[in-house]
Structure 1
Amino acid sequence: MQAPATGVPVSLPVLAAYRYCEAVTGGQARNFAYGIRLLPTARRRAMSALYAFSRRVDDIGDGTLEAQEKASRLQGCRDLLERVRTGAVAEDDTDPVAVALAHAAGAFPLPLGALDELIDGVLMDVRGATYRTWEELRQYCRCVAGAIGRLSLGVFGTVPGARDADRADHYADTLGLALQLTNILRDVREDAANGRTYLPSEELARFGCADGFARGLPAPGADFAGLVRFQARRAHALFEEGFRLLPMLDRRSGACVSAMAGIYHRLLVRIARDPEAVLHGRVSLPGGEKALVAVRGLTGLHARRVAGAAGGGA
């Protein structure tokens, strides 16, 4: 998949739709926004359209509506995708996300079926799915995050002659898994308070944490730190494999991926160093540290540090 052409013209209605999607992205996805600001304009806009659609799907899943109404609204998102696939979205459509996504799909070879997978993953949440094994959780992560990695690759493309380019989809998918598992660790208490447990039940039991964390504390005698570090090592291995994508991308696309994934990798390192911090508040990086990761992404420094520090701190 070589880097796509980006010469599709942008009319004023489409430009307005993209600006709406960029506002959504900037307001609700600070880590994501740090990365995509490194992209050329056409790619940045396309990534914003993908984010705005994904945000809509996630907000339905995370909202307070009854499960039946959530499922109905998610079907509406599938209907929107079908309109995009069939070219049925006009530039004067009243839904700016539909307009921007339709234009992006015309400019880039987006695997729109991956957005169906995202909806499938959110439906798992709506239905209260739990996961017994890592393989079961991996399938969920592949739907809600690996799919975004594959869509992003549709925007980035690969450089001509890239070695192992036939593995690019796999590496993009794997990097998405790494980000999602890091999210799960960061949000473990918040998710538990909302009645959700994502970590595999077999592994929770192995570390004495089968009762969960809704009260903000693991059960007496539980090895919560051991559980978190075990998951962090898994996530680190996923990052290490996923970063093999970077040499296949052009400099600015590689910088974008390195910045976004780098921020999450630094979060992972911080969580692994102090596992119980996730039980007391939301672990995050200050803006200056995120900016540093972005700069390192431009030079390729962060990915090299990840590759050379396997197991260290995570």
Structure 2
Amino acid sequence: MSVDRELDAAGITDPGLRLAYARCRALNAEHGRTYYLATRLLRREQRPAIHALYGFARWADDIVDEVHDGRSAEQRAAELSGVERRLFAGLEAGSSDDPVIAAVVDTARRYDIDHRHFVDFTASMRMDLTVTEYPTHADLARYVRGSAAVIGLQVLPVLGTSVPREEAEPAAAALGVAFQMTNFLRDVGEDLDRGRVYLPLDELAAFGVDRPLLEHARRTGRADQRVRRALAHQVARTRAVYREAEPGIAMLAPRSRPCVDTAFRLYRRILDLIEEADHDVLSGRVVVSGGRRLAIALPALAKSVLVRSA
């Protein structure tokens, strides 16, 4: 099986750890189509660590996002607190018997990932339990620091760099932010259904948009020109973050560049689709087609093979 070859290549032999990494890989395959496809462009020995980091992030995110599954806010808060306790106990001990956390702890140890990144991440997840909107871009940026920028910083040691790591960190953090902001724009309607708005309220107001107007557009499925203009502004802001992140791809180890370049282009393509839909993201969700994914991924696969054989 592919998962066994990956674990063998990474030197992961402990049966419990193999099960933990396999569980994280399944979470990635189920929930992160774009990430999972891009991860396939990495060397086999790199993939388990990326699966572990993404699988844990997906798990924590699901706890706070599944607001219609019958659990109360208090129950979700208690579950997240339990995950957090087990994570930091495992990081301190260097091991865990939790079927997901064990892989994260092992990855953090193998790649010397700063534990503060996990502190920042869980802090942002806790915000999702109580915060439903962000008055300003600065307020949203504090959330995104923990929910996205630190993800870029977590995976950077796994990807490796061709420059000192600290030189590549700003671009890695920016790429995490760009991906998150793209998700916010794509998922405005779904987030509204969960009772949340991940767009700065003051910047929306500058275009005559408030939360009731967004909710009305979601209910009716009718785009409003004020909303379209406000979203166009946020798309432009997000494109600027992609420009900030793009030089970081060349700072990565050559073996990792095809993977990150593929994710970069696939996610940036979502912005193109939003623009092609005239910024109507409230009546449906824009999706990069399977054919488009392959068209982007296949050249990267060829580059990846060339790098591996060099």
- For residue 270 of structure 1, the aligned residue among 245, 268, 273 is 273
% identical equivalent positions = 31
TM-score, normalised with respect to structure 2:
0.86
CA distance in 2, matches of 1:127, 1:7: 39
TM-score, normalised with respect to structure 1:
0.85
CA distance in 2, matches of 1:85, 1:124: 22
Instruction: Give 1:307's aligned residue.
Output: none
Task: Please state if 1:37 is matched with 2:43.
Answer: no
1:211-231 alpha-carbon deviations (Å, 9 max, x no partner) = 342232599975222111111
Instruction: Give 1:194's aligned residue.
Output: 194
Pairwise CA distance, 1:202: 0.8
Task: Please state if 1:112 is matched with 2:115.
Answer: yes
Pair 1:243–1:220, CA change in 2 (3 A): closer
- For residue 98 of structure 1, the aligned residue among 93, 96, 101 is 101
1:8-33 alpha-carbon deviations (Å, 9 max, x no partner) = 54323322221121111111111110
- For residue 147 of structure 1, the aligned residue among 147, 150, 168 is 150
CA distance in 1, matches of 2:223, 2:271: 25
Structure 1 gap ranges (5+): 1-5, 301-314
Pair 1:219–1:25, CA change in 2 (3 A): closer
Instruction: Give 2:234's aligned residue.
Output: 231
CA distance in 2, matches of 1:139, 1:55: 20
Instruction: Give 2:82's aligned residue.
Output: 76
Supply the AA of the counterpart residue of 2:83.
C
Pair 1:222–1:209, CA change in 2 (3 A): farther
Instruction: Give 1:89's aligned residue.
Output: 95
1:275-299 alpha-carbon deviations (Å, 9 max, x no partner) = 3431221100111211222234457
Instruction: Give 2:307's aligned residue.
Output: none
Would you say the 8 A contact 2:221–2:283 is kept in 1?
Answer: no
1:221-279 alpha-carbon deviations (Å, 9 max, x no partner) = 75222111111111011011111111111223111111112211000111123234312
Pair 1:282–1:53, CA change in 2 (3 A): same
Structure 2 gap ranges (5+): 1-8, 304-310
CA distance in 1, matches of 2:177, 2:207: 22
Instruction: Give 1:311's aligned residue.
Output: none
Instruction: Give 1:170's aligned residue.
Output: 170
Pairwise CA distance, 1:128: 2.3
Supply the AA of the counterpart residue of 2:89.
R
CA distance in 1, matches of 2:222, 2:272: 24
Supply the AA of the counterpart residue of 1:275.
D
Pair 1:240–1:221, CA change in 2 (3 A): closer
Pairwise CA distance, 1:113: 2.1
- For residue 246 of structure 1, the aligned residue among 249, 256, 270 is 249
Would you say the 8 A contact 1:228–1:275 is kept in 2?
Answer: no
Q: Pairwise mapping of residues 287-298 of structure 1 onto structure 2 (< 5 A)?
A: 287-297=290-300
Instruction: Give 1:213's aligned residue.
Output: 214
Supply the AA of the counterpart residue of 1:214.
E
